[in-house]
């Protein structure tokens, strides 16, 4: 069957057009001109500041990062080490010719650290770049590029004389109790922590567990204090790194209360916006809890389910942050008796310096003062 003239013309034009104009990729070869550390190199620093380097002879090459992540295999002579490539950086070099440079850094399987890992000392590493249709891929001049076959090379590290890098994960602002101090390192380390505030007793804690991520629980910090913390991290070769850090403890202040026959309205402030709660009850077991979920610095909460008559209650304020939980000291108060003059001879009422609201007859106001501890009975 003969084709019509128009159909013949279309086919002819398609055959004459370049392949890439049609959007059909033409597979060509990725070519590696050099690597660093170079093949067979010894005494390679365990901390390679610029990372490993692969130089492709292909100019203006756009490498698919996912294909790099999946197709660079790193093996060490120490079978306990499982490494991988991460944090890729690609750029073009023009010295002396235009080529494409890929830098990558090392990660250690099982490490929780986000830092670029130090390598193990006196260890041989073999890096393999996987080729073929399922290997590393890139695009240059509109064409798909692959490596025809795998490319491998090895190098050996020297002694470890480098201090570990330390990254503090905790923010400066920490809670006053249940404080969790977290940090990570670029190699497994143990650590020692000394901390305290000016004029206070210094506390010390150490751990001999070699890890790259550490969480340290700091119990019972004082409200409103700034703690100076000195962290010393040490690797297995004895190299150390010291880091000084300040913990600004959350402050719960200006606590005041308006007391009724079977109710109490409590107000307070926090030095940072927090979600808070009141834990209260007839003892310091604080049998009941009421929450304020909104994060703010000024807080107010009414307790309306108290027993009628003169009853003593304990309460404490709980502030919740991502970094931990803060508690105030213990406070106590008494609900009003049926006769407001009942408190005239009570030491509690005199000590808190409250005033009777005579026209209401049902509420008594604890006057806020500079030191909240003077406004309400407290137990340290």
Report the alpha-carbon distance of residue 105 to residue 289 in Å, rounded: 50
What is the tally of structural domains in the chain?
Answer: 3
Per residue in 366-379, pLDDT (tens digit) is 333 333 332 333 44
Domain check: are 239 and 356 in the same one? Answer: no
In a domain, 68, yes or no: yes
Find the CATH number of the domain harbouring 210. 2.60.40.10
Per residue in 23-76, pLDDT (tens digit) is 445 455 788 999 999 999 999 999 998 899 999 988 778 887 888 889 999 999
- Domain final position from 210, 234, 249: 249
List the domain range (segments joined by +) for residue 118. Answer: 23-156
Neighbour tally for 22: CB within 10 Å: 9
In a domain, 14, yes or no: no
**Mean pLDDT across the stretch 3-14?**
49
Domain check: are 189 and 123 in the same one? Answer: no
Domain check: are 152 and 27 in the same one? Answer: yes
Question: Hey, what's the torsion of the CAs at 373, 374, 377, 380, to 10 degrees?
Answer: 30
Domain check: are 204 and 148 in the same one? Answer: no
Contact predicate 109/84, CB 8 Å: yes
- Domain final position from 156, 189, 208: 156
In a domain, 322, yes or no: yes
DSSP-derived letter for residue 132 is S
In a domain, 4, yes or no: no
pTM given for the model = 0.63
Domain check: are 283 and 306 in the same one? Answer: yes
Domain check: are 278 and 306 in the same one? Answer: yes
Domain check: are 366 and 270 in the same one? Answer: yes
In a domain, 54, yes or no: yes
Domain check: are 140 and 27 in the same one? Answer: yes
Domain check: are 53 and 133 in the same one? Answer: yes
Cα of 328 vs its chain's centroid, Å = 26
Report the alpha-carbon distance of residue 253 to residue 77 in Å, rounded: 59
In a domain, 58, yes or no: yes
Which pLDDT score, from 0 to 100, does residue 326 have? 75
Per residue in 219-261, pLDDT (tens digit) is 667 766 788 899 999 999 999 999 998 887 778 888 888 887 7
pLDDT bucket at 360, cuts 50 / 70 / 90 = very low
Domain check: are 242 and 317 in the same one? Answer: no
Domain check: are 135 and 38 in the same one? Answer: yes
DSSP string, 203-257: EEEEEEEEEEEEEEEE--PPTT-EEEEEEEEEETTS-EEEEEEEEEE--EEEEEE
Token pair listed for 323: 């970094």
Give the contacts of 262 (CB within 8 A, at least 6 positions apart). 304, 305, 306, 307, 308, 309, 335
Token pair listed for 316: 């404490």
In a domain, 161, yes or no: no
Find the CATH number of the domain harbouring 109. 2.60.40.1220
- Domain final position from 222, 249, 276: 249
Q: What percent of the chain has pLDDT over 90?
A: 33
Residue 37, CB-side half-sphere exposure with 13 Å CA sphere: 22
Domain check: are 259 and 363 in the same one? Answer: yes
**Mean pLDDT across the stretch 189-198?**
92
Which pLDDT score, from 0 to 100, does residue 293 have? 82
Report the alpha-carbon distance of residue 84 to residue 105 in Å, rounded: 8
Neighbour tally for 178: CB within 10 Å: 17
In a domain, 321, yes or no: yes
């Amino acid at each position: 069957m003969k084709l019509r003239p128009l159909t013949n013309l279309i086919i002819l034009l398609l055959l004459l057009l370049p392949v890439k104009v049609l959007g059909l990729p033409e597979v060509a070869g990725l070519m590696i001109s050099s690597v660093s550390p170079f093949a067979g190199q010894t005494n390679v620093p365990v901390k390679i500041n610029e990372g490993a380097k692969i130089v492709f002879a292909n100019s203006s090459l756009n490498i698919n990062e996912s294909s790099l992540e999946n197709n660079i295999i790193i093996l060490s002579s120490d079978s306990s080490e499982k490494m991988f490539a991460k944090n890729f950086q690609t750029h073009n070099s023009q010295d002396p010719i235009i080529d494409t440079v890929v830098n990558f850094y090392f990660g250690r399987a099982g490490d929780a650290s986000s830092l670029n890992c130090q390598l193990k000392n006196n260890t041989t590493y073999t890096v393999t770049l996987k080729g073929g249709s399922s290997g590393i891929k890139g695009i240059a001049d509109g064409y798909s590029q692959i490596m025809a076959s795998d490319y491998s090379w090895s190098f050996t590290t020297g002694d470890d004389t480098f201090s570990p890098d330390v990254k503090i994960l905790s923010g400066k602002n920490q809670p006053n109790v249940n404080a969790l101090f977290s940090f990570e390192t670029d190699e497994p380390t143990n650590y020692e922590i000394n901390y305290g505030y000016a004029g206070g007793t210094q506390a010390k804690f150490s751990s001999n567990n070699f890890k790259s991520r550490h969480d340290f629980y700091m119990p019972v910090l004082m409200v409103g204090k700034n703690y100076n913390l000195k962290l010393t991290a040490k690797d297995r070769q004895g190299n150390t790194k010291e880091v000084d850090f300040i913990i600004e403890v959350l402050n719960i202040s200006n606590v005041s209360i308006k007391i009724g026959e079977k109710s109490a309205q409590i107000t307070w402030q926090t030095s940072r916006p927090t979600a808070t709660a009141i834990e209260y009850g007839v003892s310091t077991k604080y049998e009941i809890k009421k929450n304020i979920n909104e994060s703010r610095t000024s807080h107010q909460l009414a307790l309306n389910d108290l027993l009628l008559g003169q009853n003593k209650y304990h309460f404490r304020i709980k502030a919740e942050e991502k970094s931990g939980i803060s508690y105030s000291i213990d406070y106590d108060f008494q609900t009003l008796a049926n006769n407001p003059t009942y408190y005239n001879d009570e030491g509690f009422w005199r000590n808190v310096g409250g005033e009777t609201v005579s026209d209401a007859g049902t509420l008594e106001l604890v006057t806020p003062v500079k030191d909240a501890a003077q406004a309400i009975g407290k137990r340290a």
